[in-house]
Each structure stands twice: as structure tokens, then as C-alpha cells.
Amino acid sequence: MENNNISIEEINKSNEIIKAISNYYTSRIVGQKNLQISLLISLIANGHILVESVPGLAKTTAAKVLTESCGGKFSRIQGTPDLLPSDIIGTQTYNAKTGEFETKLGPVCANFVLLDEINRSSSKTQSAMLEAMQERQVSIGGEIFKLPDIFIVIATQNPIEQEGTYLLAEAQQDRFIIKETLQYPTANEELEVLNRIEKNIFEEGKKVVEIEHIKYLQELSKKVYIDEAVKKYIISIVYATRNTSKVIGPELSKYVTNGASTRASIAFMEASKALALINGRTYVTPDDIKALSHGILRHRIALSFEAIADEVQVETIIDAIISSIKAP
């Protein structure tokens, strides 16, 4: 299963870059290992990531730590109900001195865009990100502006049950390659946070790799080998989300209203190649697909109101699907 297109020197260099970023992350963030892996995947796959939790669990800090480690241009947008699309993508302003309109590009024109509390902004503003996230360009006054080659949106959101939040549209959610949900830290992790703050031992923000290193990882991940059987395994999983009654039976399938789109299959392939590199491999395994199933599918499977009433979690549906499909 080894891929002859990737040399030992290339995989060693990849391991060094990933280790440098990971070590920096753990020096700044206590716990949240799953978030670390998901952020690395979005970085290597050049895809956008959605992070959800209650406030105060270091979502914003983790996003800033990742971007600090890589350098590149960083911008932060705070989601609020009065945030306008032009506040994100930019606008045209009239210059009285020259008598001409000038284009002012918004904060979305950066390598890393932290969109904090995305679901506190209105639907119109959320939709302003769609073209940028999918087409990697913005349109202002009929003129198109290309975004950087490395363009990653790290969006954070609070649970929809919280007051003052707007539900993200399915089309918007589908643009995120992965969604990570955070849990409260353990007692030991929280103690470590207090100790670090008391001793002031959190490292200052610094760059540990160059932006060219990120491009290197992204290009190398494209060369990671994925077998035809693993591709068929991905398709079987995604197909099962659309035909749950045939796979997991009526008891659980009644809670599913919509399955995953083709973007889920693409996300599985791209994210699994990134995960293989993170694990120091040049090929994808079925275990990579299983490990990614929650992150890839939790925001792409729509559940009914009955599921909410019965407190059925989307992860329960995903686990049932994975258990029902034979891995190659």
C-alpha cells in the first residue's frame, strides 16, 4: 500500500513540519486533542472548519494559535446581529478628492480568517461567505477579487439552543470540510490551565513554520495513496446516510430527514489523506475513514424534530451506519 510517489525524505520533512505545529499547539492549549487534529486536517486539506461549543472552551484561542504557528495573513471577524456583508467582503467607497470610487477589500482577504460566533450574524451576512468559501473569490461592484491560495475559514459557533443565535443554512454548513464539537475539560486539564495562568507560563505567540511549509504539506497530501476499495467504502457510507432505512433500520432512520451530499465524499477523501500525513503514512486506511466519520458527517446529516425531542444525537446515527457497513 506504500505510495512510491512520496519519498522517505518528503515524509520526514512532512513529519517535522507537523510536529513543530503540534508541539506549539500543546504549549499553548491544554487538552482539546481532537480539535488539534481537526485544525491540522483543515490546514493540510486547505479546507474550512466549523468549531462548536459553549463559550469559554478555547475555540478562539485554538484558532489563533494555529495561525500564529504558520505565519501568513490573519484576520478576525466577530459575528454580531448587525454585521453586514460589506463588513466581511469589502465595499466601494467614494473618494471626494479624485471623484472616483475605490474598492476597499474586507477582512476575508487573508490566509486565515477567524469568523467568531458565526451564528450570531444574520443569514444575509452568513451567505456573504458562501462565494468566498466555495469559489475562493469575492465580487465587489461587479469586479472579482481572487483570494490567497491558502485560504482557510475557522468559524466558531455556539449551540443553536442559546439565545441570540441563527441557524446556519445547510448549504453554508456543507462548505466546511469538518466540524468539531468541544467538551468541557477534565478536572486535571482545568487544574493545569489554572497552574499555567498562575505561573504565567503560556508561551508568547510566535511563528514555528513558514507559510511555504503549509503549501508543501498541501501539495504532498495530494500524492497520498487512496485505494479504490477505500473510495468505495467512503461512497458506501455517504450513500447509507441517504438511504438509512436500508442500512440501520426504521428505529433510527425515522430520525433522519436528509443525508450527506457529494461534498461529504470529497471531504472524506481529502481529509483522510491529510490524516494519513499527520499519522506519518503515505496511504489512507479504512480506520482513517472511521476516525473522520463524526467530523465529516455531523453537520451534513439533518435530523428531524422528533430526534431533538427524543434526544437522539447525530453521532448515534453515524455510529450505527459505520457499524453496519463492512470495511475493506
Residue 267 Cα distances to 7, 261, 294, 304, angstroms:
25, 10, 12, 24
Residue ending a domain, choose from 203, 223, 243: 223
Residue 121 near residue 86 (C-beta atoms within 8 A): no
Asked if the structure places residue 144 within a domain, the reply is yes
In a shared domain, residues 161 and 243? no
Asked if the structure places residue 263 within a domain, the reply is yes
Residue 117 near residue 78 (C-beta atoms within 8 A): yes
Q: What is the spatial distance between Cα 297 and Cα 258, in angstroms, rounded to a whole number? A: 11
Asked if the structure places residue 1 within a domain, the reply is no
**End-to-end alpha-carbon separation of the chain, Å?**
13
Which residue range(s) make up the domain with 246? 225-328
Residue 71 near residue 209 (C-beta atoms within 8 A): yes
In a shared domain, residues 76 and 204? yes
Number of Cβ within a 10 Å radius of residue 239 = 16
In a shared domain, residues 20 and 153? yes
Residue ending a domain, choose from 183, 206, 223: 223
Residue 1: its pLDDT value, please? 43
Residue ending a domain, choose from 204, 223, 242: 223
Residue 154 near residue 51 (C-beta atoms within 8 A): yes
121 closest CA partner among 73, 97, 87: 87
In a shared domain, residues 234 and 205? no
**The CATH number of the domain where 77 resides is what?**
3.40.50.300
In a shared domain, residues 272 and 209? no
In a shared domain, residues 116 and 208? yes
Q: What is the spatial distance between Cα 108 and Cα 124, in angstroms, rounded to a whole number? A: 16
Q: Which parts of 96-243 are beta strand (E)?
A: 100-105, 112-116, 137-140, 143-146, 152-157, 176-181
Asked if the structure places residue 311 within a domain, the reply is yes
Asked if the structure places residue 259 within a domain, the reply is yes
Asked if the structure places residue 232 within a domain, the reply is yes
In a shared domain, residues 123 and 208? yes
In a shared domain, residues 148 and 72? yes
Q: Residue type at 112?
A: F
How many domains, the chain?
2
In a shared domain, residues 217 and 234? no
In a shared domain, residues 149 and 17? yes
In a shared domain, residues 66 and 154? yes
For the stretch 129-151, pLDDT in tens is: 777 888 888 888 778 888 888 88
The position carrying cell 472511521 is: 290
For the stretch 297-324, pLDDT in tens is: 999 998 888 888 888 888 999 999 999 9
78, burial (CB in 10 Å: exposed 0-12, middle 13-18, buried 19+): middle
Residue 160: its pLDDT value, please? 61
Successive 10-residue mean pLDDT values, the chain, 328 residues: 72 93 84 86 92 76 81 84 84 78 83 84 77 82 84 81 65 88 84 80 72 92 94 95 86 87 94 95 94 94 87 90 90
Asked if the structure places residue 50 within a domain, the reply is yes
Residue 96: its pLDDT value, please? 78
**The CATH number of the domain where 316 resides is what?**
1.10.8.80
Asked if the structure places residue 251 within a domain, the reply is yes
In a shared domain, residues 270 and 151? no
